[in-house]
Chain A
């Protein structure tokens, strides 16, 4: 009855897998909560900077900053792709890479040279397999991206952008819309949108009464300093969103895996019981047959 033993073995293996996926689900849930808290704490800074920018733009006119200038001809573009370091998170990485692949092809047809920068082992493995050369690779962004780490990247982009080495910065990541919805997107971070450095800046400004501020040194020059910061926090927000979305994706995937492991165990148990019953029936039939023969 080798078949029966095989069933028992498989059921055992699936039970072990279920334990692992269940644990991973719990871990992902707690990490998601932490990541979510971090994201909401970062929200305050974003809101304040938006408010500040709104107040400043009301007082400064004709600000020209290199980060605001759109280049007429885009020759070199940076595409930063944020994926996870680990797998087992469902379609998370695949959907980002699909979106990123489309962006790469779009750039190619436009005749733009793309400089790829990857965060996460998944993207690195994908592009290595595709044989596409990559400019920079990062694996140190985990579920708790620190502003200091992002700051390094942001400063380099700002420098290269101002120096004219790059004409556009795009980020492909999973945008967090709400706990039930995330969407893979490719967003252009540089050049910054004219005088609306951050989403909601206008709304934040509209709610304020006009306050007669004293500016040290002057509204225009402060605004020029605010612009790089607003780029940095937008980039930072991308990383935070990616971290939150990754944990959600992993939780959903692991929940589904745990559930299907449960279903599988159920159906294997059924098969096993049926087989056992059939075996008992055969044995009884054999015994009865033997008794009949002895009569």
Chain B
């Protein structure tokens, strides 16, 4: 399970409550934080941060992997990036139709403050999924 890491590289571990989704060694990791993207290169200062919905990229050489993460937290320490998220999937595994359906569902009007919050949250999540999936598929984002 443990990937071997050489100096000058970053180990990226993605964990969900159900299982360890990914454990890879790469040169660079881009994380979707709650307010924008943060790039992690080797020798980064230890960091704990909150993630938003969005795309996580790992790059090794010329190979870039795209992941979608559903919020959560990240801990960076000793060049190990640990992503704790409730859901993570490969960008190519996202079902755009399903995401669009849930976006349409979330755009229905709500009449309670909690309902509005939940809807906004769901919209953001669905938009992020669509964005990541479209980017992975090579089509320009429309949302």
Query: Taking the complex as formed, is A151 at the interface, i.e. its CB lies under 8 A from any CB of chain B?
Result: yes
Query: Taking the complex as formed, is A292 at the interface, i.e. its CB lies under 8 A from any CB of chain B?
Result: no
Question: Who on chain B is nearest to A236 by CB?
Answer: B17
- Bound-complex Cα distance A263 to B49 (A): 62
Main secondary structure of the interface of A (DSSP, over half): helix
In the bound complex, residues from chain A placing their C-beta under 8 Å from that of B17 are: 42, 45-46, 147, 232-233, 236
Query: Taking the complex as formed, is B38 at the interface, i.e. its CB lies under 8 A from any CB of chain A?
Result: yes
- Bound-complex Cα distance A214 to B45 (A): 7
- The interface stretch among A26-34, A49-57, A95-103 is A49-57
Interface centre among A45, A51, A213, A236 (most CB of B within 10 A): A45
Query: Taking the complex as formed, is B97 at the interface, i.e. its CB lies under 8 A from any CB of chain A?
Result: no
Q: Say yes or no: A147-B86 contact (C-beta < 8 A), given A38-B19, A41-B18.
A: yes
- Bound-complex Cα distance A44 to B13 (A): 11
Interface centre among B33, B48, B82, B114 (most CB of A within 10 A): B48
B73 touches A52 (CB 8 A): yes
Query: Taking the complex as formed, is A159 at the interface, i.e. its CB lies under 8 A from any CB of chain B?
Result: yes
Query: Taking the complex as formed, is A226 at the interface, i.e. its CB lies under 8 A from any CB of chain B?
Result: yes
- Bound-complex Cα distance A214 to B19 (A): 27
B82 touches A222 (CB 8 A): no
In the bound complex, residues from chain B placing their C-beta under 8 Å from that of A2 are: none
Contact bitstring B84-107, A, C-beta under 8 A = 1, else 0: 101100000000000000000000
A151 touches B82 (CB 8 A): no
Cβ distance B44 to chain A, nearest Cβ, rounded Å: 9
Cβ distance A159 to chain B, nearest Cβ, rounded Å: 7
B15 touches A44 (CB 8 A): yes
A44 touches B20 (CB 8 A): yes
- Bound-complex Cα distance A91 to B19 (A): 31
- Bound-complex Cα distance A214 to B40 (A): 13
- Bound-complex Cα distance A264 to B132 (A): 63
Contact bitstring A197-235, B, C-beta under 8 A = 1, else 0: 000000000000001111111010110011001001100
- Chain B interface size band reads 20 to 34
Query: Taking the complex as formed, is A146 at the interface, i.e. its CB lies under 8 A from any CB of chain B?
Result: yes
Cβ distance A241 to chain B, nearest Cβ, rounded Å: 14
Query: Taking the complex as formed, is B47 at the interface, i.e. its CB lies under 8 A from any CB of chain A?
Result: yes
In the bound complex, residues from chain A placing their C-beta under 8 Å from that of B47 are: 213-216
Q: Say yes or no: A211-B46 contact (C-beta < 8 A), given A45-B84, A52-B75.
A: yes
Question: Who on chain B is nearest to A215 by CB?
Answer: B48
State which of A148, A212, A236 has its C-beta within 8 Å of the C-beta of B46.
A212
Cβ distance A34 to chain B, nearest Cβ, rounded Å: 12
- Within 20-39 of B, Cβ neighbours of A (below 8 Å) are at 20, 33-35, 38
A222 touches B46 (CB 8 A): no
Question: Who on chain A is nearest to B78 by CB?
Answer: A211
Cβ distance B16 to chain A, nearest Cβ, rounded Å: 7
Query: Taking the complex as formed, is A71 at the interface, i.e. its CB lies under 8 A from any CB of chain B?
Result: no
In the bound complex, residues from chain B placing their C-beta under 8 Å from that of A9 are: none
- Within 43-98 of B, Cβ neighbours of A (below 8 Å) are at 45-50, 72-73, 75, 77, 82, 84, 86-87
- Bound-complex Cα distance A112 to B60 (A): 58
- Bound-complex Cα distance A265 to B87 (A): 52
B75 touches A42 (CB 8 A): no
- Bound-complex Cα distance A40 to B38 (A): 31
Query: Taking the complex as formed, is A48 at the interface, i.e. its CB lies under 8 A from any CB of chain B?
Result: yes
Cβ distance B125 to chain A, nearest Cβ, rounded Å: 13
In the bound complex, residues from chain A placing their C-beta under 8 Å from that of B20 are: 41, 44
In the bound complex, residues from chain B placing their C-beta under 8 Å from that of A229 are: 72-73, 84, 86
Q: Name 8 interchain pairs, CB-CB below 8 A, sorted by A.
A: A38-B19, A44-B15, A52-B73, A151-B86, A213-B48, A217-B35, A217-B49, A229-B73
Residues of A within 8 A of B (CB): 38, 41-42, 44-46, 48-49, 51-52, 55-56, 146-148, 151, 159, 211-217, 219, 221-222, 225-226, 229, 232-233, 236
Lowest 6 A-B CB distances belong to which pairs? A216-B49, A41-B19, A147-B17, A213-B46, A214-B47, A211-B46
Residues of B within 8 A of A (CB): 15-20, 33-35, 38, 45-50, 72-73, 75, 77, 82, 84, 86-87, 114
